[in-house]
Chain A
Amino acid sequence: MNSNNRQPAALLSLILLTFLATAMAGPAVVVEGQWIREAPPTSTVLAAYMVLKNTSDTPLAITRIDSPDFGNSQIHRTVVEDGIAKMLPVEKLQLSARGSETLEPGGLHLMLFDPLRALRDGDTVILVVHDDTGDSVTVQTPVLRNTEETGHAHHHH
């Protein structure tokens, strides 16, 4: 009988907890599959790739992604127009409600300028993803030597 009486209270707590958890969950942006392409030792420009997910029910925009290991960074989109490859800066990367964007070789990518230390395959770099609600997410990002798997496996259809 007691357990039966407790059920509504338990349910209420659960709802309250869920609500609190959602309210206090912090950034709506989740970063997955992030990696930085290892470049030859003297390279001063590297590229990072990842999937950015908006876990909230409202659209938001990624305003910048920076790193304490690099002097500067910028989100770019590679486009091929009439056979010419161009890189266009992306000021704000829009994520629809519950939507996502994929940064991958030959498309959207994070350009990382002026590495402050030598980065080799197996190293880890901190990236901080900022959105237009003022939140930010910090992720550990591995440096990987580009193989066909990392570069192109996603494109096999």
Chain B
Amino acid sequence: MSTPRTYSTARLILKGVIIAVLATAAGIWSARLVLQRPAVEDELSATRFPVARDVQPFELVDHNNAVFDNAALQQRWSFVFFGYTYCPDVCPTTLSVLNSIAQRLQDVDEDIRFVMVTVDPQRDTPERLAEFVTYFNGDFLGVTGSDEGLQQLTRQLGILYQRVEQEPGSGNYLMDHTAAVFLFDPDGRYHAVFSPPLSAEKIAIDFRKMLQDTQ
């Protein structure tokens, strides 16, 4: 009596284990398929790609009216945020965080740049952007451009934005927009993404770890 029971229990456990393994594998596989996201590395609060991704061609213009394209991402690390100047809460808060990151990384012997790309090119002229971003840090760069140029960059990064009208007739509108900060490496490749809530302290620590790993 006891032998068949043990046998069937063992089989049941084995079956269970096989099902669990298969389900986990299927879960991981389908999650990767669905999310198309890099695996989160436990020791980092950032999401980093195992291999940095190439950035497809795009062309925008910076607040000095210079071309901002793939070449502009090279030779330096770039922290890039997508926002707009008529944004009263999230964008000033994020630019303050970026400024804090800049202060924390002052001792790092690397060229690091902080960029805000506007998702509201209709209103954000280079002049307006210049005033907005340099208010937070004189070295910050504002980037704008055509709708097409903006989409060339945002689509490949999975960035979403849309106009939200305020009271009818007021002409005021707000933008919903992806709140993450994107990191590009000196080869101009998409290296990592920092998702909100953004902590200057954590991002600075993560960046130092990433620098160590790439050296």
Which A residues fall within an 8 A CB radius of B? Answer: 37, 39-47, 72, 76, 78, 80, 83-87, 105-106, 109, 111-113, 146-148, 151-152
Contacts of A152 in B (CB 8 A): 96-97, 100, 200
Within 8 A of A (CB), among B185-204: 195-197, 200
Q: How far is the CB of B161 from chain A (nearest CB, A)?
A: 8
Docked Cα-Cα span, A46 to B90, in Å, equals 11
CB-CB under 8 A for A85 and B179, given A43-B132, A148-B200: yes
Among A37, A87, A111, the most chain B Cβ lie within 10 Å of the Cβ of: A87
Which B residues fall within an 8 A CB radius of A? Answer: 85-90, 92-93, 96-97, 100, 128, 131-132, 135, 160, 164, 170, 172, 174, 176-180, 195-197, 200
CB-CB under 8 A for A45 and B97, given A84-B179, A85-B177, A146-B92: no
Partner of A151 from B85, B93, B128, B174 at Cβ < 8 Å: B93
Docked Cα-Cα span, A46 to B36, in Å, equals 37
Docked Cα-Cα span, A85 to B179, in Å, equals 6
The answer to whether B92 and A148 touch across the interface, beta carbons within 8 angstroms, is no
Partner of A39 from B88, B128, B197 at Cβ < 8 Å: B88
The answer to whether B195 and A83 touch across the interface, beta carbons within 8 angstroms, is yes
The answer to whether B196 and A80 touch across the interface, beta carbons within 8 angstroms, is yes
Contacts of A44 in B (CB 8 A): 86
Contacts of B132 in A (CB 8 A): 40, 42-43
27 contacts across the A-B interface (CB closer than 8 A): A39-B92, A41-B131, A43-B132, A44-B86, A45-B86, A45-B87, A46-B88, A72-B170, A78-B89, A78-B90, A80-B179, A83-B196, A84-B176, A84-B177, A84-B179, A85-B196, A87-B174, A105-B93, A106-B90, A111-B88, A111-B89, A113-B172, A146-B92, A147-B96, A148-B200, A152-B96, A152-B200
9 tightest A-B CB contacts, nearest first? A85-B179, A40-B135, A47-B88, A105-B93, A45-B88, A86-B176, A85-B90, A109-B89, A47-B89
Docked Cα-Cα span, A153 to B158, in Å, equals 31
Q: How far is the CB of A74 from chain B (nearest CB, A)?
A: 8
Which chain B residue shows the least CB distance to A41?
B131
Contacts of B197 in A (CB 8 A): 80, 106
Which chain A residue shows the least CB distance to B170?
A72
Docked Cα-Cα span, A15 to B186, in Å, equals 74
Q: How far is the CB of A157 from chain B (nearest CB, A)?
A: 11
